[in-house]
A and B are shown apart, each in its own frame.
Chain A
């Protein structure tokens, strides 16, 4: 097969597979409540606000113009440095808590989304989990028997 023909075939194959992937991804975005724009926006906001900084920006990214403003900024920086020992541990504690909350929310949202996708009630989902685990136990038992 000539090079150009091979390239044409490859381009067509890639386009075909690409279209299938795009369709799957689009469907995921459209159908899953986990991927709803509202959830996405809320999660983005939650993640964005989860980490707080221990200080405000001073003279950032450039020093302010004028000698008085520069002196004021320098004094603010010194004050901030003097209070650092007191503020930093509190901020760290708050950030750890925030991160735990974000993780917990993510887990809950994933569980809810999984339930919604499967169209099951919580009781049905539990039964499905039990069946799935039973299936795994059966498969592992069979594997053990084979190895014996």
Chain B
């Protein structure tokens, strides 16, 4: 089967690029599968493994080559600059769409309104929701009042209608789509666990030792960490406040912030205000390989997220797969992860207190912490195995071929 894979690739700073590459490499292990990538024309992919293994074209080349492919896989998120180029192709060349977020509202806004095409945005809104005040909705989304609105008006309806099949990563996602489009062929395929650039799996102990050595952290230090792009809805204030409470009993603890904060969110100043500068390290952006390896240094990984836009965050899967005791928000997209394989904290008024108590308990009880880490790792091995997941994608693409 010859597959055209529309995706973002490295060096784009997006988690979607990271796991598009991991999945494609695993799918390509199948002798019957050939994958060609189609990417946006404003960057040059630079992952040597991907360059060596696949042919990469810009989307301009697709029309001339379209007839060669039995399947088209669209790897779609709600970031207009990265993913907006795919929308037109999805309608002209139907294929299987992987919806990483349960909304495409901002993506559609980017390729219509933000390029001055007001009528196209209004037409999309009318197609999906009939006679609503589209421009007022857009204004509210733009002025930061949008997290609920983009879920209420997800604007994926035309994409769903045009697609031969849809992949989402949670039952929650599947049920949301089927509630709006009952006739859609939507399948849940979980995220695969993999480590970029790693050819042979490492034991959690070796991975931890290597990661700590690279960060200059002693083996006995208690290390708490958060990874990714830091935005206010990751509640780092509460995580740091919980961390403060473990310092008296674990004075050599460190909080590693592996990633970078978005503009207008002055995380470094917040840390300084809390007097935590000597105990924290913000790494800044890192390429996927060192970024994911670094997570193995953590004793406890915290990945809170609320409000969310429906997608299953990948970081908890990777943390758990690495054998790190992981704390997440108890949100619908993570319903498949059971309490006990990780720690789930409800995103309510009790969050701050719950986090403080649970982090203290995990810090003081290393055996309990290790048990949760072990549970999490085994669960990920069982349900998020890379070759099994790659097989599920290939099967679904074959079922829904053009």
Contacts and interface: CB of A to CB of B under 8 A. Distances in A.
Given A10-B375, A28-B350, A18 B338 contact: yes
Contacts of B354: 25, 28-29, 35
A10 B350 contact: no
Contacts of A113: 353
Contacts of B349: 35, 39-41, 43-44
Interface stretch (B4-12, B81-89, B132-140, B206-214): B132-140
Interface in A17-42: 17-22, 24-25, 27-29, 32, 34-35, 39-41
B339 interface: yes
B340 A21 contact: yes
B133 A59 contact: yes
Contacts of B368: 17, 20
Interface of A is mostly: helix
B185 interface: no
B47 interface: no
Contacts of B352: 34, 110
A13 B371 contact: yes
Contacts, number: 99
B34 interface: no
B379 A10 contact: yes
Contacts of A143: 252
Interface residues of A, number: 40
A63 to B, nearest CB: 6
A21 B339 contact: yes
A135 interface: yes
Contacts of B385: none
B236 interface: no
Contacts of B346: 25
Interface of B: 131-133, 136-137, 241, 247-248, 251-252, 338-341, 343-346, 348-350, 352-354, 357-358, 361, 368, 371-372, 374-375, 378-379, 382
Interface of A: 6-7, 10, 13-22, 24-25, 27-29, 32, 34-35, 39-41, 43-44, 57, 59-63, 110, 113, 132, 135-136, 139-140, 143
